[in-house]
Amino acid sequence: MPRTSVPDSVSGPLSWGYKRSVFLVSNEPLDPFAGDPEDPAAELAQLDSAEDLDLLEPLSLREREEILAELGDLDVFRTLLEPRGFRGLVVDCEGCAEPHYFDWDLLAGNLRHLLDEGRTRVHEPAYAPDPACYVSWDYARGFADGAYEASTASEADTR
């Protein structure tokens, strides 16, 4: 399997001297009904007509690069925020106008699915999430930027 990573030429807080890779992110949660002939969701696949699937355009190279960058960013966010007790990210859903709380693994799995399949999965809100355990993507990015700034300032002070 080819190793896909963000080029070393990327600069800023999310490129702290290491290559990011989709292989650094753990696998998505397993489907508890996988292989079950009585899978209650099996009928959902029939709702996607072959015609609809044929109309689905593959992701462009730019879109694929953006998803890979998001996976890399997500790995950095998790590395910085999970030890502080954050379970994942909250995303405002345009489709249902509700906030969706994603644990780290689930969000990474959804991004990998988008990368592999070219479309997102049907989503379901988490059951009774504690909003205090989730941060927005913007907050996570700001936290990573702040950690990077503090790191570079600390390095400059030690010189």
- Residues 93-125 pLDDT 10s: 887 888 889 999 989 998 999 998 888 777 666
Structural domain includes residue 140? yes
Residue range 128-142: average pLDDT?
Answer: 95
pLDDT digits (tens, 9 = 90+) for 51-83: 455 557 889 999 999 999 999 999 999 999 999
Whether 110 maps to a domain, the answer reads yes
Query: For residue 100, is it within any domain?
Result: yes
* 47 occurs within a structural domain: no
pLDDT tens track for 14-50: 444 434 444 444 455 667 777 788 877 766 666 655 5
Q: Which domain holds residue 91?
A: 59-156
In a domain, 116, yes or no: yes
Residue 18 is assigned to a structural domain of this protein: no
* 81 part of a folded domain: yes
Predicted pLDDT at 133: 96
- The structure's pTM equals 0.64
* 3-state helix/strand/coil string of the chain: CCCCECCCCCCCHHHCCCCCEHHHCCCCCCCCCCCCCCCCCHHHHHHCCHHHHHHCCCCCHHHHHHHHHHHHHHHHHHHHHHHHCCCEEEEECCCCCCEEEEEHHHHHHHHHHHHHHCCCCCCCCCCCCCHHHEEEHHHHHHHHHHHHHHHHHHHHHCC
In a domain, 93, yes or no: yes
- Number of domains composing the chain: 1
For the chain, the average pLDDT equals 77
